[in-house]
């Protein structure tokens, strides 16, 4: 679903003949829409009164979106609105089932099971994603454009449907658990803690700068640098591997590290990255740059979630994270829409991309002035960070969602 499907939505839009601006819209705006709908999904879950039902139905509908890509491919070549709606639905379902899945799995597993289940699961997910990325890139590059009269992209999306459908069947056979009502928190108040307030505001502002340019790295590689599909998939793979390996390495060596200092250094490094895309345009450099990018994002994510885990009291975590999710979603919307609007005012050439990348770096650097200062050391209460990978992105490594219910269960 991720390696073969979502990772190639941009390439698919460009192959249909849509503009670089429209492809950029596909990258980020559906995530913003999905984030808005995720915040209201607890109302639906509470109406259904079953984590399992909400999750299984959502996963099945997500599979059906890929089937629409297959059977309505001709219509999609002439209707960008339909393509945009389908990708938005995909993200709405992906993010909308996250609260129910997290509640379901954290209620079902015991702490000792969690310690073995998630490391094994993360390895399988990583292997599946990487296999999908590489095989899809090879297939699009070297396979015939049509197979038995079906376009290559449609064949890949057919496999996405099949595997996502099978995964929804696997979910169907999981045991149910006792339902506990979820509390929707769209704009709840956070504790009167100056560091916590500054921390979540800084993090959201930093993501605004990130998403200002997030729409454009994939179209830039495909249309401006003329990367092949296999080169494109290798760049995605390098960022994903860099994030995965370094975050795993860092989690093993957290003791005696000032986690907030790690967060600052990662933020500073990430702020430089878009500028480097301006000066180097060959595949080899960008491949290596994306490994470093993934490593920086791995450090950023681990530090962020450990700071949340260590600093925010357990009883306040749901309030603070709900507020952060709200601000984060707004930051995605403002950042991506601002970048897309500015891009639309100019011709889609390399200079316009350079301008977007430079402004993104400037926005990221400017937020460092607001960085919250505090020395924070990681305790031994939590041996790992529980995250769910939702997408693979150039210049980010991946888009993830933490499983807060599981983390809180491990902290008790």
- Give me the pLDDT at residue 408, please: 64
CATH number of the domain to which 87 belongs: 1.20.1250.20
**What's the pLDDT tens digit per position in 245-266?**
887 777 777 777 888 999 999 9
**Tens of pLDDT along 357-396?**
999 999 999 999 999 988 888 766 555 566 677 778 787 7
In a domain, 83, yes or no: yes
Mean pLDDT of 311-333: 81
Residue 187 in any domain: the answer is no
User: Tokens 């339902």 map to which residue?
Assistant: 179
15 inside domain: yes
The answer to whether residue 182 is domain-embedded is no
- The percentage of the chain sitting over the pLDDT mark of 70, rounded to a whole number, equals 90
Asked if 305 and 385 touch (Cβ cutoff 8 Å), the reply is: yes
What is the tally of structural domains in the chain?
A: 1
pTM to 2 decimals? Answer: 0.89
**How confident is the model over 92-108, as pLDDT tens digits?**
999 889 888 888 888 88
| Residue 181 within any structural domain of the chain | no
pLDDT digits (tens, 9 = 90+) for 273-312: 999 999 888 999 999 999 999 999 988 988 888 888 778 7
Whole domain around residue 394: which residue ranges? 6-176+192-411
Would residue 291 count as lying in a domain?
yes
Residue 77 lies in a domain: yes
Instruction: Kindly give, in sequence order, each residue whose CB lies less than 8 Å from that of residue 312, ignoring residues fewer than 6 positions away.
Output: 191, 196, 320, 321
Let me know if residue 18 belongs to a domain: yes
pLDDT at site 378? 73
């Amino acid at each position: 679903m991720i390696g073969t499907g979502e990772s190639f939505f941009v390439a698919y839009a460009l192959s249909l003949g849509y503009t670089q601006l429209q492809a950029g819209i596909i990258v980020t705006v559906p995530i913003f829409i999905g984030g808005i709908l995720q915040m209201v999904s607890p109302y639906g879950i509470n109406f259904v009164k079953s984590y399992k039902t909400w999750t299984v139905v959502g996963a099945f509908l997500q599979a059906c979106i890929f089937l629409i890509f297959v059977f309505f491919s001709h219509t999609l070549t002439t209707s960008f609105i339909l393509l945009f709606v389908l990708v938005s639905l995909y993200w709405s379902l992906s993010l909308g089932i996250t609260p129910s899945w997290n509640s379901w799995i954290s209620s079902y597993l015991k702490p000792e099971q969690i310690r073995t289940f998630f490391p094994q699961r993360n390895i399988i997910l990583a292997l599946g994603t990487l296999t999908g990325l590489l095989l899809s890139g090879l297939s699009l590059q070297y396979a015939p454009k049509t197979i038995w009269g079906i376009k290559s992209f449609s064949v890949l999306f057919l496999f996405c449907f099949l595997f996502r459908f099978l995964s929804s069947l696997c979910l169907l056979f999981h045991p149910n658990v006792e339902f506990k009502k979820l509390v929707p928190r769209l704009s709840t108040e956070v504790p009167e803690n100056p560091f916590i307030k500054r921390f979540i505001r800084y993090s959201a502002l930093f993501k605004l700068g990130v998403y200002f340019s997030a729409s454009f790295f994939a179209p830039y590689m495909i249309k401006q640098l003329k990367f092949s599909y296999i080169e494109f998939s290798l760049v995605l793979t390098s960022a994903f591997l860099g994030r995965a390996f370094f975050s795993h390495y860092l989690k093993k060596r957290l003791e005696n590290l000032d986690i907030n200092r790690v967060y600052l250094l990662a933020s500073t490094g990430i702020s430089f990255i878009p500028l480097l895309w301006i000066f180097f345009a060959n595949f080899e450099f960008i491949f290596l740059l994306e490994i470093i990018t993934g490593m920086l994002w791995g450090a950023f994510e681990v530090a962020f979630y450990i700071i949340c885990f260590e600093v925010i009291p357990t009883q306040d975590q749901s309030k603070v994270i709900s507020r952060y999710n709200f601000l984060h979603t707004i930051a995605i919307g403002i950042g991506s829409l601002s970048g897309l609007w500015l891009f639309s005012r100019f011709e889609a050439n390399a200079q316009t991309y350079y301008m977007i990348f430079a402004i993104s770096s400037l926005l990221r650097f400017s937020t460092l002035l607001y960085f919250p200062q505090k020395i924070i050391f990681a305790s031994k209460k939590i041996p790992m960070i529980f995250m769910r990978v939702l997408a693979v992105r150039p210049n980010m490594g991946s888009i993830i969602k933490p499983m807060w219910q599981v983390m809180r269960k491990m902290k008790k």
